[in-house]
Amino acid sequence: MTVTLLIAFAIGGIVNAVVSARIDGVLFPYIKKVGKKRYLNLGILGDFFIGGFAALAATALLEPTTLVKGVGTAVLAGFNGFSFLAKNALARSGDPEETAEVDKLYKKFMQDTPVDNKNNKEQ
């Protein structure tokens, strides 16, 4: 099981890094100064970790029975990266009101449906 998780992490990380590089270009880690504070942007390394952790979560939750299914799960989770982690967290929320609010913000973030900020309703 440990080897499967390591393979899933690596595959998910590579897939998410490649997808992110195709969308945004390759950003290497750098330090950004804002005012007097400095922030570390991990760039493609951060994308690798996001995809890797998404693949770990998917593999741990779905428990694929074969290596081929594990690789497929890791590829799909790595391809989705942030959205997989956000939707998984949303599904585990027990409060229906909180779930609705998070789902609304998720849809706004993913630009699935435009949200009217005045009335906080979907158009």
pLDDT in tens, the chain (123 residues): 688 889 999 999 999 898 888 877 888 888 888 788 888 888 889 889 989 998 998 888 888 888 888 888 898 888 877 666 666 665 666 666 766 776 776 677 666 444 455 555 544
Q: Are residues 16 and 63 in the same domain?
A: yes
Q: Are residues 75 and 115 in the same domain?
A: no
pTM of structure: 0.62
Sequence-ordered alpha helix ranges (H) in the chain: 2-24, 44-62, 67-80, 82-92, 96-110
What pLDDT is stored for residue 48 in this prediction?
A: 92
Number of domains in the chain: 2
Q: Are residues 29 and 77 in the same domain?
A: yes
What pLDDT is stored for residue 13 in this prediction?
A: 92
Q: Are residues 21 and 67 in the same domain?
A: yes
- Give backbone dihedrals phi and psi of 23, rounded to 5 degrees, phi first: -85, -55
Q: Are residues 74 and 99 in the same domain?
A: no
Q: Are residues 113 and 77 in the same domain?
A: no
Q: Are residues 72 and 98 in the same domain?
A: no
Q: Are residues 73 and 107 in the same domain?
A: no
Q: Name the strand (E) or helix (H) holding 37.
A: strand 37-41
Q: Are residues 14 and 58 in the same domain?
A: yes
Q: Are residues 17 and 59 in the same domain?
A: yes
Q: Are residues 34 and 66 in the same domain?
A: yes
Residue 54 lies in a domain: yes
Q: Are residues 74 and 30 in the same domain?
A: yes
Tell me if 81 sits within 8 A of 20, measured CB to CB.
Answer: yes
Residue 29 sits in which domain range?
A: 2-81
